[in-house]
């Protein structure tokens, strides 16, 4: 069962009001963060996180959205088109479009390393607690997603 289906199955078991609030939440977090606003979780959202399957599905979906959003933000920060980035990563423009889609979930270390190289950045992967990740939601902003390349950072 895909994470999206697990999330949908869990959400069908809660009230319609909570369902709609939670369905819209990932979109709100991404939009709020890119627009420089902080997201605050409702009581219903915090209750939902008590369920392990929901918690994992939710955070996995957020991770996909965050990666896609950061790719787009980094590309825009450099004033590159999708074609420009595709050329630097040695893929087609359609691939970049797919990678910038918040519903994309087939990430590989190879493509992420290639993107990091194109942006002249390093790729960082770590295991974190859910509480730490909740704190990170409040830091999800365009400003925090933008990163200077090594030539500007060293």
Tens digit of pLDDT at every position of the chain (154 positions): 455 565 566 555 555 565 555 555 655 555 555 455 555 677 877 888 888 888 888 888 889 989 999 999 999 999 999 999 999 999 999 999 999 998 899 999 999 999 999 999 999 999 988 888 877 777 777 888 888 887 776 6
Q: What is the dihedral of CA 85, 79, 73, 21, to 10 degrees?
A: -110
**Fold for domain 3-146?**
434 Repressor (Amino-terminal Domain) (1.10.260)
Cα–Cα distance for residue pair 80/61, rounded to 1 Å:
26
- Nearest C-alpha neighbor of 25 from the set 8, 6, 39, 7: 39
Per domain, the residue ranges of the chain are 3-146
Provide the whole-model pTM.
0.73
Which stretches within the chain are classed as H helix? 3-12, 16-34, 43-48, 52-77, 82-89, 93-99, 109-118, 130-137, 142-145, 150-153
């Amino acid at each position: 069962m895909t994470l999206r289906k697990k999330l949908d199955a869990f959400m069908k078991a809660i009230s319609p009001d909570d369902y709609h609030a939670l369905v819209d939440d990932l979109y709100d977090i991404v939009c709020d963060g890119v627009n420089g606003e902080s997201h605050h979780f409702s009581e219903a959202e915090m209750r939902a996180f008590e369920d392990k399957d929901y918690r994992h599905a939710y955070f996995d979906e957020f991770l996909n959205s965050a990666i896609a959003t950061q790719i787009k933000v980094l590309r825009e920060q450099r004033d590159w088109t999708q074609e420009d980035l595709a050329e630097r990563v040695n893929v087609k423009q359609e691939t970049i479009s797919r990678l910038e889609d918040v519903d994309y979930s087939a990430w590989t270390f190879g493509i992420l390393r290639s993107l990091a190289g194109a942006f002249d950045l390093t790729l960082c992967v770590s295991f974190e607690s859910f509480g730490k990740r909740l704190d990170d939601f409040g830091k999800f902003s365009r400003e925090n997603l933008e990163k200077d390349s090594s030539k500007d950072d060293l």
